[in-house]
Amino acid sequence: MNKQHARDHVRKMVSTGSTQIAWFVINLLCTRMMDGAAKLGLPSYIFSTSNAAVLGLLFHFDTLSREPNREITELKDSDIELAVPGFVNPVPAKVLPSVLLEEESVFINIAKRMRESKSIMVNTFAELESNAVRSLAEGDKVPPVYSVGPVIHLVKDKNEEAMEIMRWLDNQPPSSVVFLCFGSMGSFEGDQLRQIAQALEQSGHRFLWSVRQPPPKGKREIPGEYRDLNHVLPEGFIERTTEIGKVIGWAPQAAVLTHTAVRGFVSHCGWNSILESLWCGVPVATWPMYAKQQLNAFQLVKELGLAVEIKLDYNKDFRQNGTEVVLVTAEEIEIGIKKLMESGNECGEKIKQRVKEMSEKSKIAVVEGGSSYRSIGLLIEEFMKNILIN
């Protein structure tokens, strides 16, 4: 639904008197809808499906863009590290979302519009992002920010494909499987797949691996399924690993993460995936691919100590010397997997314990007395005031 259609639909609802509208709740990417709300004399609330750290970064870059002689585009591909409110450590420019570093970035315009909103809801909880949440509360010209997460969807898929995967997991020992899944848009060509396969085989750990085929070059489509994995994986790999591994296409990620057989998660670090893994108490090895995922990975590894690193600044679209695709090597992948999976690895054990503690905090946050529960209560009070006013 585009802006005009949405506006017409709302006007129809108002004119017929069938519905009383007191406010708009708008996705962070749809801030132009605030114009329609304003014409109706209604307040706008923003819902950010990303984390508090990314929200703070957007406001910070909006501030930077107003400074004289400041060229944000110069940060692209640079080795500069930045002091960013809400982050304890300097943030490397290489992990910043590339769209934020473009001339007249749409995300800086979004930040400008968000300052005009009544309040902002963000899908996080205070215990996870305490520094970022505090920084937003203290920010200049930033509307009130309510942490309302984790908002996640854990309903299990009941189709046969999903049930077959779950049956395979049922037959694995507890905490023995590493799960590799890279989101709805994550995919790899054959050269990278072979590096992953080599790492899995050399590690010796049980694995469940979601493999997706990239769309044709130049097309922005959702990845599909490989017709024959034997054509892209090392010769004999599936046969050699049949006792310990399963290669699949689409994966019921949330259901897999809840299974007791899963010990570690090699992830693209989308924010929903991070929240799901924390809720389920499954440590992550970071392999970001695009958008805000590099920054999410940096936050998990360097700021929060909740993940091990495979890569932080990997970019699916990056081309070394303009032609050669930069591969993550089998050695790098294997090291990350072993940190996740092997008992006695000091780094991995510390992270496992921290993730377990954060998992408990995530569940407490959303029940009565929890931080997000209280935050939602305050938000409802604000909503009710608008009903009385309007």
Where in the chain are all domains bearing CATH 3.40.50.2000? 3-149+366-388, 160-364
Architecture in CATH for domain 160-364: 3-Layer(aba) Sandwich (3.40)
Predicted confidence at residue 379, as pLDDT, reads: 95
Secondary structure of the chain as H, E, C letters: CCHHHHHHHHHHHHHHCCCCCCCEEEEHHHCCHHHHHHHCCCCEEEEECCCHHHHHHHHHHHHHHCCCCCCHHHHCCCCCEECCCCCCCCEEHHHCCHHHHCCCCHHHHHHHHHCCCCEEEECCCCCCCHHHHHHHHCCCCCCCEEECCCCCCCCCCCCHHHHHHHHHHHCCCCCCEEEEECCCCCCCCHHHHHHHHHHHHHHCCEEEEECCECCCCCCCCCCECCCCHHHCCCCCHHHHCCCCEEEECCCCHHHHHHCCCEEEEEECCCHHHHHHHHHHCCCEEECCCCCCHHHHHHHHHHHCCCEEECCCCCCCCCEECCCEECCCCHHHHHHHHHHHHCCCCHHHHHHHHHHHHHHHHHHHHCCCCCHHHHHHHHHHHHHHHHHHHC
- Give the model confidence (pLDDT) of 302-316 as tens digits: 999 999 999 998 987
Examine the pLDDT at 151 and tell me if it is beyond 80: yes
**Strands 44-48, 284-286: pairing kind:** unpaired
- Give the model confidence (pLDDT) of 42-80 as tens digits: 899 999 999 999 999 999 999 999 888 888 888 988 999
Predicted confidence at residue 309, as pLDDT, reads: 97
- Give the model confidence (pLDDT) of 221-268 as tens digits: 899 999 999 999 999 999 999 999 999 999 999 999 999 999 999 999
Least confident of 172-176, 184-188, 332-336, 373-377: 184-188
Please report, rounded to a whole number, the percentage of residues in the chain having pLDDT higher than 90.
74
CATH 1.10.357.10 fits 3-149+366-388, yes or no: no
Examine the pLDDT at 215 and tell me if it is beyond 80: yes
Q: What is the mean pLDDT of residues 88-107?
A: 92
Please report, rounded to a whole number, the percentage of residues in the chain having pLDDT higher than 70.
95
User: Model's pTM, two decimal places?
Assistant: 0.94
